[in-house]
Amino acid sequence: MSRPATPGLVRAAKAFSEPTRIRILHLLRSGELCVCDLITALDVTQSTLSTHLKVIRDAGLVTTRRSGKWIHYSLSPHGLVLTKAVFHPFAAELAADRTHRRDAARLVRSAVGRGCEGEGC
């Protein structure tokens, strides 16, 4: 199998091609999040999240910042532009989607009274 002539495009398309990765990118549009917050919001294991974040990282859509044992993720400038362009035509669909609303509600609940220094972080 030959290598694609546009590896960046292929990596970005792969990042946007899976529902859990869409959920991660959608949450990151609100700002930097710790791995522990993403695990709680998405209701996934750390292993599952790590697998998806690797694909998103490889596409250059996020930047990372380490704080103690936890890594914080935020959209890169490139990731901000791409998520805006990809999500904009689907804004109503994303807003109406129960899964995305549930993720956002879990994120709010997990952040109340706790930063990333709380239990589990």
The pLDDT tens digits of the residues spanning 89-111 come to 999 999 999 999 999 999 998 87
Return the pLDDT at 119.
47
Phi-psi region of 66 (alpha: psi -120 to 50; beta: other; left: phi over 0): beta
Domain ranges of the chain: 9-106
How far separated are the first and last CA of the chain, in Å rounded?
42
With cut-offs at 50, 70 and 90, classify the pLDDT of residue 43: very high
What CATH number has the domain spanning 9-106? 1.10.10.10
3-state DSSP call for residue 19? helix
Which ranges in the chain belong to alpha helices (H)?
Answer: 7-15, 19-28, 35-42, 46-58, 77-87, 91-96, 98-111
The pTM of this model reads 0.89
